[in-house]
Amino acid sequence: MEDKMLRLTRRRLLQYGAFATTMLAAPRMFGAFADTISDAQMTGVGAMVKMDKKAGPFRVGFSNGFSGNSWRAMCIAALQKEAKAHPEVSDLIIVDGQNDITKQVNDIDSLVSQQVDVILCIPNSGSAVVPALRNATKAGIVTVPFNLPIDGDDYTAYTGTDPSLKGKNSGTWLRDALQGKGKIVALGGIAGNSYTAAGWKGAQEAFAGTQIEVLAFKDTDWSEDKAKVVMSDLIAAYPQIDGIWADGGQVTSGASKALLAAGRPLVPVTGDDYNGLLKLYDQQKDKQPKFDIGLISEPTWESVVALRMALKILNGEEVQKQQIITPKLITKANYKDYMRPDLADGVFCDTNLSDDELKKIFS
């Protein structure tokens, strides 16, 4: 899978640097997020993409694989805000795949028939949408999948973090937190998604050669409620769980709450910048000596970068085929720089949205 995902060469990965140097940047206060995107570290990968300049106005379609969590809600809000800032964007058409691969493929075909100029896409499957995006690209539509990787290169451009590297780095953190031994469970997102697959493969590479035993891997749909149910079953099955690997903070938040409900000790967890997990850590860290966090953000503003890339291409500008975003590492040393105690648990903290915009989403 890894060689299909983002086609990052070994040299490219080495350029990302080791875990401690890539993501352990000096902590930033949340107020500095006012200019989050322009301040972010992004690395161009692959060939340059250039098309003839096209006159606007432009119709933009967004095929969202599913809308089942607050990350997607924030992603859409950021996209809508960005689209309004571009007078050349006349229409933004958002379609929801409802976690159904067939529906998402049909949604993309429908956007093509509506003669949109751009199709942005978060794919449920890194392979199933490939033919539909290939057809759209051949039809002259600028196609920009983002967030979840896609197989091959039959699209115009891509942006997102590198889930394989994130998985390896979070696995490295968990390995070190457990001193190379212990029993863990692994919790993923929606079944069959390319992001979790790449991340989990990276994590397993970090565990290789250690005394870490993986008791089980379960999908949770990136849902806190489902993660709590799944974890409750795992607690009943396994009397000893020393750590939790997951690629979503809402997942480890739900799993940790299941441990609390069962009277079991909290353990080191991975995840992302989910505010509920940061708040839970703040509440429990002094009561639970084994509770620890090694979190790597997943910016909800990836949709903004995707739209900006598409508009540059329509304007005849050159862009590199992939823009890989370097996420932020959040640990016990800097979590207070990201935690928002005054906002909802569902907020993802690596965001370009204002407090007022976030309060509106979570009202």
Q: Which residues fall within 8 angstroms of residue 95, CB to CB, at 6 or more apart?
A: 61, 62, 63, 64, 107, 110, 111
Q: Side chain identity at 257, as an amino acid letter?
A: K
Tokens (6 digits) for 183: 């029993």
- Structure tokens that stand for 142 in this block: 């600028």
Residue-level pLDDT at 17: 38
Give the global pTM. 0.90
Is 49 in the same domain as 183? no
3-state secondary structure at position 187:
strand
Read off the pLDDT of residues 320-338 as tens digits, 9 standing for 90 and up.
999 999 999 999 999 999 9
Give residue-wise pLDDT tens across range 4-39: 333 333 333 333 333 434 343 333 333 333 468 988
Q: What total number of domains does the chain contain?
A: 2
Q: How far is CA 279 from the centre of its chain?
A: 20
Strand 329-331 relative to strand 292-296: parallel, antiparallel, unpaired? antiparallel
d(CA 348, CA 248): 10
The DSSP code sequence of 56-101 is S-EEEEEEES---SHHHHHHHHHHHHHHHT-TTEEEEEEEE-TT-H
What pLDDT sits at residue 39? 86
Look up the domain containing 139 and give its range. Answer: 40-161+299-326
pLDDT digits 0-9 by tens, 204-246: 999 999 999 999 999 999 999 999 999 999 999 999 999 999 9
Same domain, 343 and 322: no
Residues 317 and 214 in one domain: no
Alpha-carbon distances, residue 1 vs 158, 359, 362 (angstroms): 17, 39, 36
Among candidate residues 141, 145, 143, the one with its CA nearest the CA of residue 122: 145
Which pLDDT belongs to residue 38?
84
C-beta separation of 143 from 306 below 8 A:
no
Does 124 lie in the same domain as 62? yes
Residue 81 shares a structural domain with residue 143:
yes
Residues 204, 352 share a domain: yes
Q: Is the CA virtual torsion 71, 30, 16, 277 positive or negative?
A: negative
Q: State whether 85 and 198 are in the same domain.
A: no
User: Which of 11-25, 165-179, 220-234, 257-271 shows the lowest mean pLDDT across its residues?
Assistant: 11-25
Going by the DSSP 8-state scheme, the letter that residue 146 receives in this structure is B
311 and 268 together in one domain: no
* Same domain (yes/no): 24, 47: no
pLDDT higher than threshold 60 for residue 316? yes
For residue 143, the model assigns a pLDDT of 98
Write down the mean pLDDT value for the chain.
91
Q: 115 and 187: one domain?
A: no
Long-range contacts of 13-22 (CB under 8 A, 24+ apart): 13/165, 15/43, 16/43, 16/162, 16/165, 16/326, 19/169, 19/172, 19/173, 19/329, 22/169, 22/326
Verify that 267 and 215 share a domain, yes or no: yes
Strand 292-296 relative to strand 268-271, pairing: parallel
Largest CA distance in the chain: 63
Count of residues making up the chain: 363
Q: Say which CATH number the domain at 200 has.
A: 3.40.50.2300
Of the chain, the percentage scoring pLDDT greater than 70 comes to 90
Q: Are residues 212 and 333 in the same domain?
A: yes
Average of pLDDT values for 35-47? 89
